[in-house]
Amino acid sequence: MSDDKVTADSYGKVEVTEHNTECWMLRIPPVLSSAWDDAPEGTVLGELVFRKGGKIPGRPAIKPGLDVVLDPNIATKLPQQYSLQAMTKKLPVLHPFTRHPNGSVAIHGKVTRTGNLQVKQDANYRQLCKDRILKGTVHKSRFVKPIEANQVVHQSKKRAAGGGAAAGGNGFGDAVHQFGKRMIEAQNTTQQTKKARFTADQPTKSIIFELFEQQQFWAAKDLKAASGGRSDNEIREVLREIADYHRSGDHKTLWELKKEFQNKSKSDA
């Protein structure tokens, strides 16, 4: 306890006997850092393995490596093998130190290399990832099954006909039923509006200009479908007059209004 007491001699004292000792500073995954911090004092954390590189006749060249293999007691739920990557000597002067309770500071050395400790994606790592995904997405108590909006309406109507909260117009079942019904009605209304948008006597050129106001690039077949039944010959005749055809690039096989027609209203056509 006396060593922890702050005195005039201890406060601010700097121990520099080991300031030239070479140290490495490594960035490690947070999960691994927590596992090492939680381990009791004296626990074997792992092994540092140096691998010599070189060429072997008839086999691919072996790159030199520096790996960390965790002790099995530490790596029960963690990847077991890590490799030191992005090692560099180009760094500012860094000195790791410890500040003691009595106010003194001990310099442990000088950082000469930095790097990252990255997981080696071996079979064990892939199995851990697979188990983690299955554990997070697969449950015995529930599952998710996507259904169409018309199925929601149909099932809600069946429940309403059989009684219960949905039959009385209240509760979650009725809300789902009404939402699905509105979705289908809106979809049908949009389709009818698109079909009846253009009149039979409206010029094809006017229709094409309107459609190009909605989006910049069109395929000829899409223009034909959106124009309310205009013939393919009419569509292409107008396109050759007012639009450019992209034969390559990101918009290959699509039509775009010529520059002189862009940003003009339908009335200007």
Per-residue pLDDT of the chain (269 residues; tens, 9 = 90+): 457 788 888 888 898 888 889 998 888 888 888 888 888 888 888 888 888 888 888 888 888 888 888 888 876 778 888 888 877 888 888 889 999 888 899 999 999 888 888 888 877 778 878 877 877 776 566 556 666 666 655 665 666 555 544 444 555 666 767 777 777 766 655 554 454 467 777 888 888 888 888 888 988 888 888 887 788 888 889 999 999 999 888 888 899 998 888 765 444 44
**pTM for this predicted structure:** 0.40
How would you class 212 by CB atoms within 10 Å of its CB: exposed for 0-12, middle for 13-18, buried for 19 or more?
A: buried
Verify that 99 and 155 share a domain, yes or no: no
The answer to whether residue 68 is domain-embedded is: yes
In contact, 125 and 29? CB cutoff 8 Å: no
Local structure of 149: helix, strand or coil: helix
The answer to whether residue 55 is domain-embedded is: no
Local structure of 68: helix, strand or coil: strand
Domain that holds residue 91: 2-50+63-134
Verify that 10 and 69 share a domain, yes or no: yes
Verify that 22 and 128 share a domain, yes or no: yes
The answer to whether residue 57 is domain-embedded is: no
Verify that 178 and 101 share a domain, yes or no: no
Verify that 162 and 264 share a domain, yes or no: no
The answer to whether residue 95 is domain-embedded is: yes
In contact, 238 and 230? CB cutoff 8 Å: no
Verify that 125 and 24 share a domain, yes or no: yes
Last residue of a domain, one of 89, 104, 134: 134
Verify that 155 and 125 share a domain, yes or no: no
User: How many domains is the chain partitioned into structurally?
Assistant: 3
Verify that 170 and 247 share a domain, yes or no: no
> 62 forms bridges with which residues in the sheet?
54
